[in-house]
Structure 1
Amino acid sequence: MSTSTGAGFVPPAPGEEVELELPGFFRLYRSGRFDRYVGLDKLPASLEPETGVVSKDVTVDLSTGVTARLYLPSLADGDSTKKLPVLVYFHGGAFCLESAASPIYHRHLNTLAFITPVLAVSVDYRLAPEHPLPVAYEDSWATLRWVFSLADPWLAEHGDPKRIFLAGDSAGGNIAHQLALRAGTRPEGEGIAIKGVALIHPYFWGSAPLGAEPTDTGLRGLMEQIWKFLCPETSGLDDRRINPLADGGRSLAELGCERVLVSVAEKDHLRHRGKAYFEKLKASGWPGEAELVETADAEHVFHLFYPETEEGREMHKALADFFSKE
């Protein structure tokens, strides 16, 4: 499958047949060409003058080329031995858009590193369709194991291995859930002790409408098309990777973490699944502590695009408070 990226949305060329399109975001042609229209800009790792947070890019796995961007806050008190909670973050973008270097994510992780403070690891997992699912899950798991190995000097010197958190928005929230389940598996999860997981507007769906979820057949058909495009090996929308509430498979009681925060937004059509996930988790027998944060009159991942609004600041504070807990 060939890939093309451009700076903006353009109409199909004459004679080109479109296989699948999410208007304004991406387009797949019958020829196999794939165009992305967002998430193309990248910012370099750097020192952020306003916050004192410094970032760097590291290669996590030489065999796959997977990288991560690390963020280290300024230790203003001069204590170079201070141990910080570690946040492993998975960006959103429907598994096929954005990167750890995207401006919205570089800004977001800088902010979280500064206000918490936390040592953040933003995972640059490989994207579909060039690398269809489950590649993103495998890249993310490899990065998590790398974090626990403390192979990087920043992690070894400043990271607290007893306070490692996972978080992600949209597709990244889906990844964070999958890794928390995997961490609860023995022997695979041996040595992976996760303090908490924050699922921010998580990308969960299913074959049948749930509660007040949209019933529009066009929307639901598009969601199914997109999922099958992202994960060609899937059995459908009740695959537990997209629908953790489906019958069968592993119980949410097996999550390998102590705390979970689920965040939803009122104007996001994914909110119903997020709330149902929270309720099912509480009823599952899982022994941890669960918290739900719901933002009124807000769209999907609003805090990434409008971080300076009152709602955006409140979201960042809720996350910082969650990552700060002992």
Structure 2
Amino acid sequence: MSGQPITGPLEYLQVVVNPDGTLTRNFNMFPSVAPTPNDPQNQAPVLSKDVPINPSNNTWARIFLPREPPNPNKLPLVVYFHGGGFILLSANMDIFHTCCCDLANTVPAVVVSVEYRLAPEHRLPAAYEDGVEALHWIKTSEEEWLREYADLTKCFLVGSSAGGNIAYHVCLRAAGMVQELQPLKIKGLVLHQPFFGGKQRSASELRLMNDPVLPPMVSDVMWDLALPIGVDRDHEYSNPTVGGGSEEVEKVKLMGWRVMVNGCHGDPLVDRQMELVELMEGKGVEVSRNFRVGGFHGEEDFDVSKAHAMHMILKDFIDLSI
């Protein structure tokens, strides 16, 4: 999905829309990898395992744990949502597995990477509902790594691209169920190149209409397949600033969450991300903004060194938030 000539968005995304509205996807777009068990012959610095969340929805989580977690202190908990425009990819793909391994090792933290339902078979808000269900599952789970090593009172929601959009909307829902989620307590929200949109093209979208990685015509198709049928891209799921966005952002302010937003000026979505940052700052939310010159959407997925640099910034953000 990077740098190939774009003849059409469906071909670029390697999907076919079937007559019944489902998608045929290319699951070999990125290799999938198995979790890393606690095997004496395997000296990887981070262990991982897959655990079901809701088998009826085929949702599950890949949990990442540093091989030598500090003792006796428990680790912060990072709940991670992967990208893919709401319609593609999986938590078991190597790009996300590698990302979460480095994140768990760098912070260090227990990382729970959520496998949520994809659109259009399950249009939004299905992914948001899966994210909230994952928080409830974490709260009640007897899973050993969560009980023994994760400090549920130091929880951070982290998402990249569409996962950033999901993390944002899961946080908004979690704001209305603080008592229900205890002892799990959200301390902060990290949005990495979050996927937002709107009916009118932003200046960065117009400037990067022919972007080789995520041109607006590809984003259009993703939104058309992900949003509820009959709504446009000024729906609140897509455009968090619609109608001023004040009520939703007030929830973030009221909860006292710190927010970090990462982006780059080579991403067509950058203006959308900046609009949200400015809205939150205007409402008094404490926002750490990290926008780089150049770059492209999803750059860290393909460059381990850039991903690690981002995780170092995220580590500082978490350290200052707990």
TM-score, normalising length: structure 1? 0.84
- What is the CA–CA distance in structure 1 between the aligned matches of 2:18 and 2:10, rounded to whole Å? 15
- What is the CA–CA distance in structure 2 between the aligned matches of 1:109 and 1:69, rounded to whole Å? 9
Does the aligned pair in 1 maintain the 2:30–2:95 contact within 8 Å? no
* 2:147 equivalent among 149, 156, 162: 156
Residue by residue, what CA displacement relative to the aligned partner does 1:222-267 show, whole Å, maximum 9, x if unpaired? 5444312212335211100010011066331212452100001121
Please say if 1:27 is aligned against 2:15. yes
Structure 1 partner of 2:223: 227
Instruction: Give unpaired runs (5+ residues) of structure 1.
Output: 1-8, 10-19
Q: When you count helix as a share of all residues, which structure comes out higher?
A: 2
SS at match of 1:71: strand
- What is the CA–CA distance in structure 2 between the aligned matches of 1:189 and 1:276, rounded to whole Å? 32
Q: Where do residues 103-118 of structure 1 align in structure 2 (5 Å cutoff)? A: 103-118=94-109
Does the aligned pair in 1 maintain the 2:18–2:24 contact within 8 Å? no
Residue by residue, what CA displacement relative to the aligned partner does 1:75-98 show, whole Å, maximum 9, x if unpaired? 265x2x430000000000011111
Residue by residue, what CA displacement relative to the aligned partner does 1:191-226 show, whole Å, maximum 9, x if unpaired? 353111100000000011334442789965654443
Q: Which amino acid aligns with 2:190?
A: A
Q: Where do residues 91-130 of structure 1 align in structure 2 (5 Å cutoff)? A: 91-130=82-121
Deviation at 1:24, TM superposition (A): 2.5
Structure 2 partner of 1:314: 309
* Segment drifting more, 145-154 vs 161-170: 145-154
- What is the CA–CA distance in structure 2 between the aligned matches of 1:190 and 1:47, rounded to whole Å? 29
**Percent identical:** 32
* More RCO (CA 8 Å, sep 6+): 2
Deviation at 1:317, TM superposition (A): 1.1
Deviation at 1:50, TM superposition (A): 5.7
Residue by residue, what CA displacement relative to the aligned partner does 1:42-71 show, whole Å, maximum 9, x if unpaired? 100114956421100001123323100000
Please say if 1:300 is aligned against 2:292. no
Please say if 1:281 is aligned against 2:280. yes
Q: Which amino acid aligns with 1:70?
A: I
Q: Which amino acid aligns with 2:100?
A: L
- What is the CA–CA distance in structure 1 between the aligned matches of 2:232 and 2:180, rounded to whole Å? 27
Structure 2 partner of 1:184: 175
SS at match of 1:82: coil
SS at match of 2:296: coil
Q: Which amino acid aligns with 1:199?
A: L
Instruction: Give unpaired runs (5+ residues) of structure 2.
Output: none
- What is the CA–CA distance in structure 2 between the aligned matches of 1:91 and 1:267, rounded to whole Å? 20
Deviation at 1:146, TM superposition (A): 1.2
Deviation at 1:304, TM superposition (A): 1.3
- What is the CA–CA distance in structure 2 between the aligned matches of 1:137 and 1:31, rounded to whole Å? 26
Structure 1 partner of 2:49: 56
* 2:202 equivalent among 196, 210, 220: 210
Please say if 1:201 is aligned against 2:228. no
Q: Which amino acid aligns with 1:130?
A: E
SS at match of 1:63: helix
Does the aligned pair in 2 maintain the 1:251–1:284 contact within 8 Å? no
- What is the CA–CA distance in structure 2 between the aligned matches of 1:189 and 1:178, rounded to whole Å? 17
Residue by residue, what CA displacement relative to the aligned partner does 1:272-297 show, whole Å, maximum 9, x if unpaired? 111111111010244xx210011222
Q: Which amino acid aligns with 2:169?
A: Q
